[in-house]
């Protein structure tokens, strides 16, 4: 279907507009280039939006660090990431080795 539309456009440019085949080829090449440029612009716009969000996030962290530095917090890293205190204590003890693996003489 796309090929039929392209042929109709070539026919229109040739018959209605009086453009020769070399001119038609140049027009079609420029239209393809324009479409590629538009796609690239859209990709760059999306990337710029992502970078803008990252920049805002970085600025927020930098502002928080500056605030902590001004307040002379003892442990600035602890203030950046909230840590829940827990009263649970877990002990781990290695299992005793079997008698044949102790390395002693039998």
Answer yes or no: is 56 within a domain. yes
Answer yes or no: is 89 within a domain. no
Answer yes or no: is 50 within a domain. yes
pTM comes to: 0.52
Domain that holds residue 42: 2-72
- pLDDT of 76 > 60? The answer is no
- pLDDT of 74 > 60? The answer is no
Q: Using 50, 70 and 90 to split pLDDT, how confident is the model at 70?
A: confident
- pLDDT of 51 > 70? The answer is yes
Answer yes or no: is 44 within a domain. yes
5 closest CA partner among 42, 31, 26, 33: 31
Interatomic CA distance for residues 79 and 24, integer angstroms = 67
- Mean pLDDT comparison of 3-7, 40-44, 81-85, highest-scoring range: 40-44
Answer yes or no: is 34 within a domain. yes
Number of domains in the chain: 1
61 closest CA partner among 77, 84, 47, 74: 77
């Amino acid at each position: 279907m796309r090929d039929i539309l392209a042929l109709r456009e070539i026919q229109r440019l040739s018959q209605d507009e009086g453009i020769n085949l070399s001119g038609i080829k140049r027009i079609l090449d420029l239209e393809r280039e324009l479409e590629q440029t538009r796609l690239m612009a859209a990709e760059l716009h999306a990337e710029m939006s992502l970078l803008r969000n990252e920049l805002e996030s970085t600025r927020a962290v930098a502002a928080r660090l500056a605030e902590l530095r001004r307040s002379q917090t003892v442990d600035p890293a602890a203030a950046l990431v909230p840590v829940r205190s827990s009263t649970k204590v877990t002990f781990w003890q290695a299992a005793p080795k079997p008698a044949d693996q102790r390395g002693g003489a039998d």
